[in-house]
Amino acid sequence: MATKRTVVPAGPVKWTKTRERTFLEHLALSSNVAASERVALVPPGAAYKHRIRSADFRRNWEVALTEGYARLELAMLERAINGVTVEVTRSGVTTKKIEYSEGMAMTLLKAHRSSVTAIAAGQAADAIDADVLAVIDGMARRIGHDG
């Protein structure tokens, strides 16, 4: 079976707003630079060169990639929580079952462990700060200051 190839024009690329938007929208959906270049009809590597030359494009690229990876992470999280339906054939009988990837779940948990720990540490620090401020306010009232 032959695959359909996208014809990308040779030579220098003119980065129009439409071409940038096409590239960035696909990048946000796919997190795949090469595929996004094909969709935007630019030769391989052209987007990297444009990113070096254009600060606006570079910022928008970062936003698109952040969105793309968040989308990917959400899809993986959904699969880890809800599983994936697969067909199983035994003795000529095909049934459907849900499979869960414990490896994927563990990878996602490890990825979030540091952020959860940082959030918890921040909340603990906030509580300690509040306690210290309460003690200082109490001391200020005792010595006659308004605090």
Give the length of the chain.
147
Domain spans of the chain, in order of start: 101-147
If pLDDT is split at 50, 70 and 90, which confidence band does 2 have? low
DSSP code at position 6: P
Is residue 40 pLDDT above 70, yes or no? yes
Query: Are residues 48 and 89 in contact, defined by beta-carbon separation less than 8 angstroms?
Result: no
Q: What percent of the chain has pLDDT over 70?
A: 79
Q: Tell me the pLDDT band of 125, cut-offs 50, 70 and 90.
A: low
d(CA 141, CA 138): 5
Model's pTM, two decimal places?
A: 0.59
Whether 112 has a pLDDT exceeding 80, the answer reads no
